[in-house]
Amino acid sequence: MDTTLVLGGTGKTGRRIVDRLRRRDLPVRVGSRSGQPSFDWNDLSTWGRALDGVKSAYISFYPDIAIPGAPEAVAAFCEQALKQGTRRLVLLSGRGEAEAQRAEDILRASGADWTILRCSWFMQNFSEAFFLDSVLAGEVALPVGDMPEPFVDVDDIADVAVAALTDDRHIGKLYELTGPRLLTFAQAVEAISAETGRPVRFTSVSMADFSNTLTQQGTPAEVVVFLQYLFAEVLDGRNAHLTNGVEEALGRKPRDFVSYARDAANTGVWHPSRGQ
């Protein structure tokens, strides 16, 4: 059977895709620096071995496809993949991000059997990444006002990605993936507080204070710059609308934020002892 390479295979979307493919007994290769063979976006010498024998690939660029230089890296990867016989390429993209849409155009023009997943903010950013420590501390302080966002569940993204990697009906499709309703960051934090049963508040702060806090927490500089870009530019209302991408791809409704928050709370990830 044909092998699927999942770039970012240990990340939020990638590990879920790997798990789903393995549960279907489909050959899958984890594309990460710790994978066997390893894959590193910054080391082109690792790409060839990672692509050896691969017929389909999920492309998740680290730290994010919106950063400068990402489209060029995606272009180089697509060229290498096609040269080695990898025909089906599924790209994780971002809504309202100029660099991400440049990468999309590159993929479309590559000659691959492509699918694009253009996503809004991940719900899991509150439980698996950037904002987890803040939730545990009881205060999520962000440089954003009352602009709503259609937060999308990463499990929905993974389901669409697996469908695109395994079903020819998704070739040549661009799916814009959102949740089922718009929420401000304050409303999202309020939902988390309700499901955890303990006070978690949202505070709007300046960009400078936000950046300084991230740096003090040890957040990589490129991630800090990326988040500055998202909060300063992308959260200007351009994404404050819903789409039916999940339903179009899967024939079902996307998961709501409250359902996500309830399931995450039940895992204990937001229990105060996790932050000690």
Whether 89 is covered by a domain: the verdict is: yes
Residue 54: alpha-carbon gap to chain centroid: 22
Q: For residue 208, give every residue at least 6 positions away whose Cβ sits within 8 Å of its Cβ, in sequence order, or none.
A: none
Q: Which domain holds residue 105?
A: 3-122+151-178+240-253
Q: Are 154 and 16 in contact (CB under 8 A)?
A: yes
Q: Are 234 and 167 in contact (CB under 8 A)?
A: no
- Residues 166-204 pLDDT 10s: 999 999 999 999 999 999 999 999 999 999 999 999 999
Task: Compute CA distances 34 → 3, 31, 46, 86, 164, whole Å.
Answer: 18, 8, 12, 22, 25
Interatomic CA distance for residues 204 and 198, integer angstroms? 20
The CATH number covering residue 44 comes to: 3.40.50.720
Whether 211 is covered by a domain: the verdict is: no
Interatomic CA distance for residues 92 and 161, integer angstroms? 9
Whether 168 is covered by a domain: the verdict is: yes
Per-block mean pLDDT, blocks of 10 residues, the chain (276 long): 93 98 98 96 97 98 88 98 98 94 97 97 93 94 94 98 98 98 98 97 96 87 84 88 98 98 97 72
Domain count, the chain: 1
Q: Is 129 helix (H, G, I), strand (E, B) or coil?
A: coil
Whether 205 is covered by a domain: the verdict is: no
Whether 198 is covered by a domain: the verdict is: no
Q: Are 30 and 18 in contact (CB under 8 A)?
A: yes
Whether 195 is covered by a domain: the verdict is: no
Whole-structure pTM value: 0.95
Per the structure block, which two tokens stand in for 270?
Answer: 């937001």
Whether 135 is covered by a domain: the verdict is: no
